[in-house]
A = this chain, B = another copy of it.
């Protein structure tokens, strides 16, 4: 199966990608639940009925967009977490990577932030599933750090969740920061850096509470 790409399959993928791209662009100004099938095909330069050759429905296309968007986010998160250096360096590097990703894939970031709590159930579920995987991955990386010695698995996961949420929230804020005033981005970054710093401090003192873990 899938022998050689083939002229046929290649053209199909091309149209499919055109649909995804058109949808993503249209989604900058609205939510997925208001996106129309005809609207998408029109923007993609394709007949309305061609849509059905690729997706069963708009919700289906949305799920495909989740894969695409979080696929591009995956390597970024991985390198963000596994950066070396002391705390302050890691924070700076992480913020650079986030800002870079926002610049490279603004529409993807917007899509995920918007549809994470959006009105289309299957898409919401797909996002939460993927973010769960990210959280687990981040948790794994955190567990390797000597600071995490003696931590329960549940505690590592709650820390990972805190970081993932913060990253997504920061990315969304960076996206909405008006390009008119460049100071806005700086302000968001500095705020996020402080928050990461505070979480880091809480992390290093997590086990010296009265009663220890639990």
Contact = CB atoms under 8 A, between A and B. Distances in A.
Contact of A159 (B30, B155, B169, B198): B198
A200 B202 contact: yes
A63 to B, nearest CB: 16
A191 interface: yes
B34 A119 contact: yes
Using C-beta atoms within 8 Å of the partner chain, give the interface range for chain A. 35 or more
Interface stretch (A13-21, A68-76, A110-118, A142-150): A110-118
Interface in A191-214: 191, 194-195, 198-206, 209
A64 interface: no
B119 A30 contact: yes
Interface string A53-89: 0000000000000000000000000000000000000
